[in-house]
Amino acid sequence: LQPPNLDQFQKRLQLLTYKEITEIWQNERRSTEAKEMNAPQIQKLKDELRRDIDEVVQQQRLRILEEGARFRNPPKRSSRDKFFFCRLSPNHKLFHYDECDEKATKVPPLDDLTKKVSVSDIKSIATGKECPHHKSRKQQYAFSLMLESGKTEAVSLDFVAAEEELYNIWHDGVKVLLRETMVTEAAARDIEMLLNMEIKLQLLDVEGVTIPSDLPPVPPLPPNYNFCYNL
Q: Is the pLDDT of residue 130 over 90?
A: no
Query: What angle do the packed helices 185-202 and 18-37 form, to 10 degrees?
Result: 100
Domain ranges of the chain: 57-68+120-185
Positive or negative CA dihedral for 51, 57, 60, 64? negative
What gap in Å lies between CA 191 and CA 205, rounded to an integer?
23
Predicted pLDDT of residue 73 = 81
Average pLDDT over residues 73-97: 81
pLDDT tens per residue, range 206-220: 776 777 777 778 899
Q: 0.85 cut: is pTM over it? A: no
Q: Per-residue pLDDT averaged across 74-87, rounded?
A: 71
Distance CA 122, CA 202 (A): 40
Per-residue pLDDT at 200 exceeds 70: yes
What pLDDT does 172 receive? 96
Q: Label each residue of 83-109 as H, E or C.
A: EEEEEECCCCCEEEEEEECCCCCCCCC
Strands 156-160 and 115-118: unpaired
pLDDT tens profile 149-159 = 766 667 889 99
Distance CA 217, CA 20 (A): 41
Find out whether 92 and 119 touch, Cβ atoms under 8 Å. yes
- pLDDT tens digit string along 19-36? 999 999 999 988 877 777
Residues 6+ apart with CB under 8 A from 210: none
In which element (H, E) is residue 156 found? Answer: strand 156-160
Give phi and psi for 132, each to the nearest 5: -60, -25
Residues β-bridged to residue 157: 145
User: Based on the number of CB atoms within 10 Å of its own CB, is 197 exposed (0-12), middle (13-18) or buried (19 or more)?
Assistant: exposed
- Give 45-67 as a DSSP string: HHHHHHHHHHHHHHHHHHHHHHH
C-alpha span between 132 and 136 (Å, rounded): 12
Q: What is the average pLDDT value for the chain, to the nearest integer?
A: 86
Q: What percent of the chain has pLDDT over 70?
A: 90
Residue 122 has pLDDT above 90, yes or no: yes
